[in-house]
Amino acid sequence: MTTWLFNVINRKIVNQVQNIPGPKPIFPLGNILDLLTVTAFERMQKYGEEYGDITLFWILSQPNILVNSPELFEEILSTNRDAYYKNSPTNQTKPVLRSDMFIANGDDWARKRPTHPFIKPDANLRFNQLLPAIRELINQNYQQFSAQGTIEDFYDRLWDLYFYVFGKAVLDSEMSPELLQDFKRIMNELSRRMQGLNFSPDPRFWRKLEHWFNSFESLIKQRQQEDNSNRADNLSYGLTNKTGLTIDELQDQLSAGFVAGVNPVATTIISATYLLQQHPEVKQKLAYEIGDFWQQNPDGYDTTSIEQLNYLDRVVNETLRLYSTVPLLLRQVCPGAGVNLKGHHIPEETPIWISSWALQRNGKYWPNPDTFNPDRFVAQPVPFSFLPFGAGPRSCVGESFARLCIKVTLIEILTKYEVKMDSDYQYQLQTDAGFSKPKNKVKVTVKSI
Ligand code: HEM
Q: Give me ligand 1 centre to Cα 397, in Å.
A: 6
Residue 89 Cβ inside 6 Å of ligand 1? The answer reads no
For residue 152, pLDDT over 90 is answered with yes
Verdict on whether the full-model pTM lies above 0.85:
yes
Residue having the nearest C-alpha atom to atom 30 of ligand 1: 257
Residue 264 Cβ inside 6 Å of ligand 1? The answer reads yes
Q: Give me ligand 1 centre to Cα 422, in Å.
A: 32
Residue 261 Cβ inside 6 Å of ligand 1? The answer reads yes
Q: Are 64 and 350 in contact (CB under 8 A)?
A: yes
Residue 354 Cβ inside 6 Å of ligand 1? The answer reads no
List the beta strands (DSSP E) in 212-346. 328-333, 339-341, 344-346
pLDDT digits (tens, 9 = 90+) for 181-238: 999 999 999 999 998 888 899 999 999 999 999 999 999 999 999 999 999 999 999 9
Residues ≥6 apart with Cβ < 8 Å to 117: 123, 126, 234, 237, 238, 241
- Best mutation site among 395, 396, 399, 429 for ligand 1, i.e. most ligand atoms within 8 A of its Cβ? 396
Q: What pLDDT score does 266 carry?
A: 98
What is the arithmetic mean of pLDDT over 409-420? 97
Instruction: Give whole-number Cα distances, 137 to 105, 129, 160, 233, 361, in Å.
Output: 36, 14, 10, 16, 34
The span from the CA of 193 to the CA of 395, in Å, is: 24
The span from the CA of 208 to the CA of 380, in Å, is: 45
Half-sphere exposure of 398 (CA within 13 A, CB side): 23
Structurally, what CATH architecture does the domain formed by 38-49+62-364+373-448 represent? Answer: Orthogonal Bundle (1.10)
Q: Give me ligand 1 centre to Cα 343, in Å.
A: 31
81 pLDDT band (50/70/90 cuts)?
A: very high
Q: Judging by DSSP bridges, how do beta strands 444-448 and 435-438 pair with one another?
A: unpaired
pLDDT digits (tens, 9 = 90+) for 261-308: 999 999 999 999 999 999 999 999 999 999 999 999 999 999 999 999
Phi, psi (degrees; rounded to nearest 5) at 426:
-95, 105
- Spans of all domains in the chain: 1-34, 38-49+62-364+373-448
For the chain, the distance separating the N- and C-terminal CA atoms, rounded to the nearest angstrom, is 64
| Average pLDDT taken over every residue of the chain | 97
What is the arithmetic mean of pLDDT over 139-164? 98
Residue 326 Cβ inside 6 Å of ligand 1? The answer reads yes
Long-range contacts of range 417-420, CB-CB < 8 Å, 24 or more positions apart?
417/142, 417/145, 417/146, 417/446, 417/447, 417/448, 417/449, 418/446, 418/447, 418/448, 418/449, 419/145, 419/154, 419/273, 419/277, 419/444, 419/445, 419/446, 420/277, 420/444, 420/445, 420/446, 420/447
For residue 1, pLDDT over 80 is answered with no
pLDDT digits (tens, 9 = 90+) for 95-140: 999 999 999 999 999 999 999 999 999 999 999 999 999 999 999 9
Q: Are 81 and 393 in contact (CB under 8 A)?
A: yes
What is the arithmetic mean of pLDDT over 404-426? 96
State the DSSP H helix or E strand holding residue 222, giving kind and residue range, or none if neither: helix 203-224
Q: Give me ligand 1 centre to Cα 408, in Å.
A: 19
Q: What pLDDT score does 184 carry?
A: 97
Q: What pLDDT score does 195 carry?
A: 87
Residue 394 Cβ inside 6 Å of ligand 1? The answer reads yes
The span from the CA of 417 to the CA of 259, in Å, is: 29
